């Protein structure tokens, strides 16, 4: 068997990546501490519970499976929390990643696919972002991810570690077969929050700020379907296997949608009004984040096939009709 170690494989994006890996002929080994992940989401290969900061445990797992590559998703990722508790983000996202990278190098596992974020760019208002846009993160979440990118570059120079870094825009949707989906406790992402409000599981969705410099006053984001996103990770893994060297790719569609536009599409897909209230702006939120890159398409051959708002909302809606995980 060809094993790939997937950190955070019990989480939203990680679990979809495990399904894609299995379909591509690999055996994903999920490494997760289940602080935010769900053991129920681990369906496509072995599960190993552990912390990123536990070097002894990591060494055991590398020795047991001898993976050909690492896909590193595990991270704390809430912007609000990163503003109020930055120490947790530096310790977990940077300290944990460093421990993982050192363990991978020690095990001779030198192909590394890293889940980074467009939050590394910070505020570049009304600029479409490509891989060469200056990285000036606004919070400890973006800063911690940028630091891991730097660590990967240093470990390539010193140890020959090869990496593909993906800077994501907003991820939405779910597995169309509803085997896995998005289920956070607490939930912070727009599409599932909207669905919870429609289903009466929360009183209303809060729209944070309507006075941004955008046509309707609400923040604009570039949304990518989670299945399209993980398809890119398989292509990134193949890229490394083919010896093409380290590369950074933005993963976005190039189209931005405002919060109000997402609400309006949701009404069209579900035939239900989204109960919502207007709140204050959140600290650390950018006005507009949209990818302007064509690199992933040109070089990896990546083509987002499901990343329309209607498709993402419909797939998420289908999952939320029946899907959830139990502790």
Residues with Cβ within 8 Å of residue 152, at least 6 apart in sequence: 101, 112, 114, 161, 163, 165, 246
Q: What is the pLDDT of residue 113?
A: 98
H-helix segments, 117-249: 140-159, 190-198, 226-241
141 is catalytic: yes
Residues (pLDDT < 70) of the chain are: 125-126, 182-188, 284, 323-327
Mean residue pLDDT across the chain = 90
Q: What is the pLDDT of residue 185?
A: 61
Domains of the chain: 3-172+222-251 (3.40.50.720), 190-221+254-322 (3.90.25.10)
Copy the structure tokens of residue 29. 């080994």
Helix 190-198 / helix 259-270 crossing angle, nearest 10 deg: 50
3-state secondary structure of 138: coil
Residues with Cβ within 8 Å of residue 271, at least 6 apart in sequence: none
Catalytic residue among 31, 65, 89, 141: 141
Copy the structure tokens of residue 199. 């289903």
Q: What is the pLDDT of residue 37?
A: 87
């Amino acid at each position: 068997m060809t094993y790939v170690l997937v950190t955070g494989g019990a989480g939203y994006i990680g679990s979809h990546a495990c399904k894609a890996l299995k379909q591509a002929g690999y055996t994903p080994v999920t490494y997760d501490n289940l602080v935010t992940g769900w053991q129920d989401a681990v369906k496509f290969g072995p599960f190993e519970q552990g912390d990123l900061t536990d070097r002894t445990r990591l060494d055991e797992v590398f020795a047991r499976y001898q993976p050909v590559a690492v896909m590193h998703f595990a991270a704390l990722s809430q912007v609000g929390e990163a503003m109020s508790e930055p120490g947790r983000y530096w310790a977990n996202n940077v300290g944990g990643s460093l421990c993982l990278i050192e363990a991978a190098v020690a095990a001779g596992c030198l192909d590394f696919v890293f889940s980074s974020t467009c939050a590394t760019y910070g505020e570049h208002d009304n600029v479409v972002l490509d891989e060469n846009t200056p990285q000036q993160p606004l919070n400890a979440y973006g800063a911690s991810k940028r630091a891991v990118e730097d660590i990967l570059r240093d470990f390539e120079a010193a140890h020959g570690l090869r990496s593909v870094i993906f800077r994501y825009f907003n991820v939405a949707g779910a597995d169309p077969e509803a085997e896995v989906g998005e289920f956070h406790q607490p939930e912070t992402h727009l599409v599932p929050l909207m669905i919870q409000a429609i289903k009466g599981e929360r009183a209303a969705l809060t729209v944070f700020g309507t006075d941004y410099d955008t046509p309707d006053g609400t923040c604009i984001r570039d949304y990518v379907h989670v299945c399209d996103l993980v398809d890119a990770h398989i292509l990134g893994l193949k890229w490394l296997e083919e010896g093409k060297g380290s590369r950074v790719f933005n993963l976005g569609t190039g189209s931005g949608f405002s919060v109000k536009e997402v609400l309006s599409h949701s009404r069209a897909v579900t035939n239900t009004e989204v109960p919502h209230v207007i709140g204050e702006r959140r600290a650390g939120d950018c006005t507009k984040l949209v990818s302007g890159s064509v690199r992933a398409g040109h070089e990896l051959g990546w083509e987002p096939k499901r990343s329309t708002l209607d498709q993402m909302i419909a797939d998420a809606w289908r999952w939320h009709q029946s899907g959830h995980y139990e502790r």
